[in-house]
Amino acid sequence: MSAETRTFGDRLRGIHAATIVPMTPDFEIDEPALAAHLASVASVPGINGLLINGHASENFVLSLAEKRRVVELARAHAPKDCLIVSGVNHESSLEAAREAAALEQAGADGLLVFPPNSWALAHADDCVIEHHRRIRDATTGPLMLYAAPVGAGAMAYAPSLLERLVADPRFVAVKEGSWEVATYEQNLRLIRKLRPDFVVLGSGDEHLMTSYLVGSAGSQVSLACVVPELVVSLWTAAEVGNWEHARAAHEKLYSLAVAIYRNAPGGRATVRLKACLKLLGRLSCDAARPPQPPATAEELRSLEEALRLAGYGKLLIQ
């Protein structure tokens, strides 16, 4: 079945890589490096699509013009049948709606609506509904929800709010990033009860195997922009119920997931993803925009050891 005859939900199944945005030393987007990164990751067998302008892409510090350019480059350099989903992330609902319309026009196949970072402190449920409604009304294509980590305060949607969001037929899928197994299963069961057709992607990089065991249509994860073959291997094994092979892939991935996402201090995933790509010789400059400082010597040692445990030792630049 061709990409033209499959639904957006069908095309979401499997592994989609959440990509980074390479920067020059003076923090401008390095377009040639970005084009190479997008093309390289999207060409790996088993990578069915890309999530661009996500958290790993530093979407909260990119301008709308830059986000639009990321979409254009992805459209130009990824394979024709590669599904391109762009994140939408803005504190203002009005600006988020403008952003969504622009990114859709630039060529995104679908949009993932991130909760504004200010919602981590507090929000009224009606604010969340209004934000999503304005993005919905400014666009025509398929939309996705984002279930934020339970550690992100009020940004994580309570079941009663999630139920209201899922009821909107324009939203067809969720990147389930609760990052906690019990909440993941709670949300999965609620969504399946409300809308069996709704696509749930298990996207907590540290517990992908558990998500696949409980139930998942696939993942949009940034681990897949560093070790795409290994993430695909895990999914492929889980999809056919080969849990011995899935566990072996999980064992290789686990230390790397911890080194990138869990190790203190928090909020360093993008810096560490870029550091990994530089260690592997796939990125010449691993700069991230301020206020993020470069990877420390301790972080680099941890990432290098984790990459070795994942089986990428021979590829590391010495």
Provide the 3-class DSSP secondary structure of residue 281. coil
Active-site pick, 146, 184, 254, 261: 146
What is the C-alpha to C-alpha distance for residues 148 and 193, in angstroms, rounded to an integer?
Answer: 21
The answer to whether 314 is a known catalytic residue is no
**DSSP β-ladder status, 83-88 and 171-176:** unpaired
Starting at the earlier edge strand, list the strands of the sheet with 47-52.
199-202, 171-176, 143-147, 110-113, 83-88, 47-52, 14-18, 218-221
Q: At what angle do helices 181-194 and 159-166 cross, to 10 degrees?
A: 40
Indicate the SS3 state at residue 221.
Answer: strand
- Quickly tell me which residue has 């993020």 as its tokens: 292
Give catalytic status of residue 254 as yes or no.
no
Query: Do 8 and 110 touch, CB atoms closer than 8 A?
Result: yes
Q: Which amino acid is at 130?
A: E
One-character DSSP codes across 95-135: HHHHHHHHHHHHT-SEEEEPPPGGGGT---HHHHHHHHHHH
CA-CA distance, 274 to 207, in Å (whole number)? 21
Query: Over the Cα atoms of the chain, what is R_g?
Result: 18
User: According to the 3-state scheme, what is the secondary structure of 6-45?
Assistant: CCHHHHHCEEEEECCCCECCCCCECHHHHHHHHHHHHCCC
User: Under a CB-based contact definition with an 8 Å cutoff, are residues 83 and 53 in contact?
Assistant: no
- Give me the active site residues, please: 146, 175
